[in-house]
Amino acid sequence: MSLPRFFNLLAGFARCRRGNIAVIFALALMPVTLLAGGSVDLSTAMNARSRLAQALDAAALAVGVNSSVSDADALAIATGFINANYPEREMGTITSVTVTLDPVTDSVTVRGAAEVRTTMLALAGIPSITVHWESVAQRARQRIELAMVLDNTGSMSGSKITALRSAASLLSEILFEGADEPGDVRIGLVPFAATVNVGTGFARNWWLDPNATSPIHAQWAGGDQSTEVCTGNGRKRTCTTTTIHPNHWDLFDNLRSTPWGGCVEARAIPMDIDDTTPVLSRPETLFTPYFAPDEPDLSGYANNYLSDGLLSGVVGSVLNRLHNLLKYDDGRPSMNGPNAACTVTPITPLTTSRSRIDTAVSAMAASGNTNIANGIGWGVRVLSPQMPFDEGVGYDDRTVLKAMVILTDGENVLSGASNDFMSRYEAYGYISDNRLGVRTSNGNLLGAALDARTAAACAYAKAQGIRVYTITFQVSSSSTRNMMQACATNSSLYFDSPSSSALRDAFEMIAGDLSNLRLSR
């Protein structure tokens, strides 16, 4: 190509305008792309800041639960919670964490920063964005009354009752050690199984119906009985008729070496689950000492611990055998006896003594069937200002938080029986006497009836302003889990614990909530 022709082609290229738009667009695209990409980087940074805030809030609460902790331990606790709640691989890298403990204001301040790597902004010379957050947890100045209503049934035996003792002791430790004043925290304990034990120290107390005036007292005995005692012969023969009013206290007294075990029966519905005050002038409000009667010397009756008294002429029907009260005179029970379903340790009323609660927790043992409703009813009575346990302050005292922790490891169970009584004798007596509102020997229907009373007990507790926490421990039944979740004051206060470590975590989280820490900033 000649040199003149080359210069002509170059001049023509210079005069051409067909590619200008593309060049201008390409030049303008760079800042637009950086702006769009930068907004994505900024959005990621804001998400990281939100997650950092959540992590620091959790850390502040975790440190705040531990009232007496060193600066180093506080930092370790906070760092552990932040690492657990802030996913560095997704959000960025934690660059700093500081914890400040203020003993004057009783507050915990946790500050943190995280560096988030950028993508598009890096092209503009901004390789990262650092986000900051600060959380302050302030312990509220409020007193606590807590009832621990804990399943002590047979299915809790072995490692499960051991885990429960440990978790309950942890809750006691956190709350008592975190109290500002010795009287700020009071805890009560209600172990439950088929019945609840109020303690033998209340024997023949006025509210335990010493004169058997309650309409359900010894209902199984069929009412008053008349006996005729004759002496002499011929014209000198005289006979005296004596009326015996069935009384559980008298029957215990008549038996040899068999004192009352401390358990009580459920009052008639609806007072079975509420804290209606017992009043002598209203016999139906009194409580009945638990007494499982001797069952007939016949096949199919499990709690047979005395002779039916055939030598006294008691023969024939099942009810005649059951109603014979003379057989208790100087009787010596074999096997389970009148305390058959009385398997739990006594209630511990509200107390400021940590050692008393810990001792009672350590003494818990596992035996018997599950009656959650009965346990909740006594939990309410422990918190109530009314008798029989009147240690609780009035419900209108807004300086006190009343709370209840309810734990079960299984479904409600009432053992049906294919005999005249339809069931074993437990808190509601015999099912044949219709004290639970159903008459059936079907175990599923009996469990459903107890479920209904459990729901009623939960509703009653919440209506009194009691903050209800519920825990299921290794429970496979979805219906029971649903029932216990509905029982809680709200769903966030229900904890399903599939393992011992999860159970301990649940009690620790409840302790944190009960410490009533609030985020102030």
What pLDDT score does 16 carry?
A: 56
pLDDT, tens only, 79-134: 888 888 887 766 788 889 999 988 777 789 999 999 988 877 877 778 888 989 99
Q: Check pLDDT > 80 for residue 343.
A: yes
Distance between CA atoms of residues 302 and 321, nearest Å: 14
Distance between CA atoms of residues 91 and 55, nearest Å: 12
Instruction: Say if CB 421 and CB 430 are below 8 A apart.
Output: yes
pLDDT, tens only, 29-52: 455 455 555 677 888 888 888 888
> Which residue is associated with the tokens 């500081």?
98
Short-list 193, 122, 203, CA closest to 366: 193
pLDDT, tens only, 159-205: 999 999 999 999 999 999 988 788 999 999 999 999 999 999 999 99
**Average pLDDT of 216-233?**
88
What H or E segment, with its residue span, contains residue 157?
A: none
What pLDDT score does 28 carry?
A: 47
Instruction: Say if CB 496 and CB 430 are below 8 A apart.
Output: no
Reported as a pLDDT band with limits 50, 70 and 90, residue 519 is low
Distance between CA atoms of residues 368 and 155, nearest Å: 8
What pLDDT score does 198 carry?
A: 98
Reported as a pLDDT band with limits 50, 70 and 90, residue 518 is low
Q: How far is CA 366 from CA 315, 339, 355, 443, 451, in A?
A: 38, 16, 21, 21, 21
Strand partners, 15: none
Global pTM reads 0.75
Q: How far is CA 218 from CA 349, 425, 431, 495, in A?
A: 27, 11, 14, 40
Helix, strand or coil, per DSSP, at residue 98: strand
Give alpha helix (H) positions in 71-203.
71-85, 88-91, 159-177
What pLDDT score does 1 carry?
A: 53
Distance between CA atoms of residues 454 and 152, nearest Å: 17
